[in-house]
Structure 1
Amino acid sequence: MTFDSNAFLIIFTGALIAISCGFLGVFMMLRKMSMTGDAISHAVLPGIVIGFFVSGSQRSLEVIMGAGLLGILATLMIEGLRKKAKVQLDASIGITFTLLFAIGIILINLFAYKVDLDQECVLYGEIAYLPIDLWVTKSGLNLGPRITWLAGLNFFFVIGFIYLLFKELILTSFDESFSSVIGINAKGVNLALMSMVSYTTVSSFESVGAILVVALLVVPPATAFLWTKSLMPLLQLTAALGILIAILGYYLAYWIDSSIAGMMVTVAGIFFLLSAIIKGKKPSWLQGTYKAAKPLGI
């Protein structure tokens, strides 16, 4: 087995996606909204279809904008069902993502059945094709793999988002009522977070697929939380896990000739199971006993 430029690009891109998803997943987990990412990843399908209708391309800005708007709509629907209709959070998530995802499939079957746009290209991705999907400018300049550029751009967006709204994200995650009292728009921060999750999900579709993005949003932060309760170490350990997942996932997939993206998430699951066995107890956030004060020790 050799380490060539293609292997580096695949591992590097996978690590960028895993870290981006993991950082957002940390704040989703602290809000006890981890599976909202699952709802968003499925609910954006109608937005992708509409964006494709408008632009005629699967790789256009309209597709990303459509998916982002549907992600925000899904968030509003979940919150509306939970607060106005008094539906439990898990039920509101299930209702929202199944409804919107079904609408997306119907739109594909009715209007896009003759083009290369189906639910499988959204649910599953293959990062192994990354080295041959190049970004070539109109002047003929080859800038390298297009998905790597998308993953890098998304990574810097996520880092910038967390840096700019770090205080707001902390306060709204741990005490939404207090954050409202001191003048922070908790609903606006929540919508901004959901929008970033939507964009991250869409930008990662072609490489790892929607289902595996959900795993990267949930599993690395949950694994890190087994080892630390402080926020900064939680983010750092999540990033380290993302890098390890990309490296081990690539080489194990190469070894057994399997899906690279699928193996990366399998490695993430193994890390979680081993951590749970070593720690010998369930993470406190699963038991509903998470204490807000500890992660503030940054």
Structure 2
Amino acid sequence: MDAFWIIFTGALVAICCSLLGCFLILRRMAMVGDAISHAVLPGIVLAFLFSGSREIWTMLIGAAALGVVCTFLIEFLHKKVNVQADASIGVTFTWLFALGIILISVYAGQVDLDQDCVLYGEIAYVPLDIWLTESGMNLGPRTVWIMGGVMLVILLFISLFYKELYLTSFDPAFAAAIGISTTLWYYLLMGAVSLTTVAAFESVGAILVVALMVGPPATAYLLTDNLKKMLVISAVLGIVSSAAGFYLALWLNGSVAGAISVVIGVQFTLAFVFSPTHGLISRRRTSSPGRTNLPKEDTTTIEPAL
């Protein structure tokens, strides 16, 4: 039964991260998840300093607040200061993470805030954190309920606002011309990323969150040029990596999060080599002697219908 809860939790996190990761990949902002996952550290410390409590909900509120601040800073540096998107991400998360380390060393050095847990997590401990009702009824792991709720929110968000997310990701100029606020949808998407990251890092750790937010979408991007198919494929790949990673860790007697990340890397490598359209082998065939190929930029197309 423990194996089921571990795999199920990994699958829930994988679905949430993979779906949002598709839009981050298309916006060339894949490492925003990494930035948010590291930037939440000062939020955790500040939450403890102001409340004096290490209750999980207090920590989550502090982390969520800093996640939102991180997205605002990234957008501010990119739009107002004219810093490149990747540079604004790097600058923001490094100094916020460093600020968190300083706050811990100065004000909370004798307190077990366990910042390593935030970064690495331990999904294998999920079955131990049981949610009990006042009557003593066992509802299962608390993380499953939290991530299940987050998944429903993410699915509802993408289903209801697919058109807006689609347009602002692929053609922000056209979206602005027809009256869709690209800034609003940027912040809504980043808010969803922050929600997922903060909800997941306690159980699976920030590193695995980043792996799931980048790996499956990047693999799906190599396998299809259709956004809807990309969303489905990335979610399926995330679920498969969660199950395969667990059994790989069981076989090796190693870290579950590390094994899942390894499986994600294997998936991407296979797609990179064998993808029928964008794979290394297919590209070499099209560029073989006797063929004339004009140099061109990214030719990825998306389905014409919204």
- TM-score, normalised via structure 1 length: 0.91
Q: Which structure 2 residues correspond to residues 62-211 of structure 1 after superposition, within 5 A? A: 62-211=58-207
The answer for unaligned runs of 5 or more in structure 2 is: 284-295
Which whole-Å CA distance do the structure 1 matches of 2:213 and 2:70 have between them?
17
Matching residue of 1:57? 54
**Given the superposition, is the C-alpha separation of residues 51 and 296 from structure 1 closer, same or farther in structure 2, using an over 3 Å criterion?**
farther
**In the alignment, does 2:25 pair up with 1:29?**
yes
**Given the superposition, is the C-alpha separation of residues 210 and 85 from structure 1 closer, same or farther in structure 2, using an over 3 Å criterion?**
same
SS in 2 for 1:178: helix
- The answer as to whether partners of 2:274 and 2:281 remain within 8 angstroms in 1 is no
SS in 2 for 1:110: helix
One-letter code aligned to 2:280: K
Matching residue of 2:302? 294
Which whole-Å CA distance do the structure 2 matches of 1:115 and 1:282 have between them?
54
Which whole-Å CA distance do the structure 2 matches of 1:169 and 1:41 have between them?
22
Q: Which structure 2 residues correspond to residues 279-290 of structure 1 after superposition, within 5 A? A: 279=275, 280-281=279-280, 289=298
Percent identical among aligned pairs is: 52
- The answer as to whether partners of 1:207 and 1:261 remain within 8 angstroms in 2 is no
Which whole-Å CA distance do the structure 1 matches of 2:42 and 2:181 have between them?
29
**Given the superposition, is the C-alpha separation of residues 111 and 137 from structure 1 closer, same or farther in structure 2, using an over 3 Å criterion?**
farther
The alpha-carbon deviation at position 36 of structure 1 amounts to 1.5
SS in 2 for 1:144: strand
Which whole-Å CA distance do the structure 2 matches of 1:257 and 1:158 have between them?
33
SS in 1 for 2:56: coil
Query: Residues 271-292 of structure 1: CA distance to partner in whole angstroms, max 9, x if unpaired?
Result: 00111111333999xx96154x
The alpha-carbon deviation at position 270 of structure 1 amounts to 0.5
**Given the superposition, is the C-alpha separation of residues 141 and 99 from structure 1 closer, same or farther in structure 2, using an over 3 Å criterion?**
same
**Given the superposition, is the C-alpha separation of residues 113 and 282 from structure 1 closer, same or farther in structure 2, using an over 3 Å criterion?**
farther
Matching residue of 1:227? 223
- The answer as to whether partners of 1:226 and 1:283 remain within 8 angstroms in 2 is no
Which whole-Å CA distance do the structure 1 matches of 2:282 and 2:91 have between them?
27
One-letter code aligned to 1:281: L
One-letter code aligned to 2:54: S
- The answer as to whether partners of 1:245 and 1:264 remain within 8 angstroms in 2 is yes
The answer for unaligned runs of 5 or more in structure 1 is: none
The alpha-carbon deviation at position 31 of structure 1 amounts to 0.8
